[in-house]
Amino acid sequence: MHRALRTRIAILATGAVLLPGAATADEATFQIGHNRVAPAEVRIAVGESVRFENQDAMPGGHSIVADDGAFASPGLAKGQTWEHKFTEPGVYVFRIKEHPGAVGKVIVGEPGVPASPEQ
């Protein structure tokens, strides 16, 4: 009986973590600047948004561009933020257009886990 109760609590705790919107905004924010992106990657659920926060002044601003062309931001002034909502699972690599060596990654959903069982 005690074991069953513990199991149920564990399931409830896991469910809470997976609730949409449970992830804090901080966890889905990239800080960008001169030749830097931090953190290197974030994981979100399908349908969640990621925020990009530019911390450095740059003529024309800093722009986010996805390697596969899935999204692109306008030039962001210092202190300006831009958000993008991800509606498709996958791994999205992006870089700062003005500093192509500064790369980040957004992992949406659970890549590697098939959405439906494979035949």
Question: Of how many residues is the chain composed?
Answer: 119
Select 25 or 57, whichever has its Cβ closest to Cu ion: 57
- For residue 39, whether the previous peptide bond is cis, meaning omega lies within 30 degrees of 0, is yes
**Per CB under 5 A, does 102 bind Cu ion?**
no
Q: Which of residues 25-44 bind Cu ion (CB under 5 A)?
A: 34
Phi, psi at 77, each rounded to 5°? -75, 165
Q: How far is the CB of 65 from Cu ion (least distance, A)?
A: 14
Select 25 or 77, whichever has its Cβ closest to Cu ion: 77
Select 11 or 77, whichever has its Cβ closest to Cu ion: 77
Using DSSP, state whether 73 is helix, strand or coil.
coil
Q: How far is the CB of 94 from Cu ion (least distance, A)?
A: 15
Q: Are 103 and 80 in contact (CB under 8 A)?
A: no
Which two structure tokens, joined as six digits, stand for 46?
């399908």
| Residue choice 37, 50, 58, 102 for contact with Cu ion (CB under 5 A) | 58
Paired with 29 in beta bridges are 51
State the residues that interact with Cu ion by CB under 5 A.
34, 58
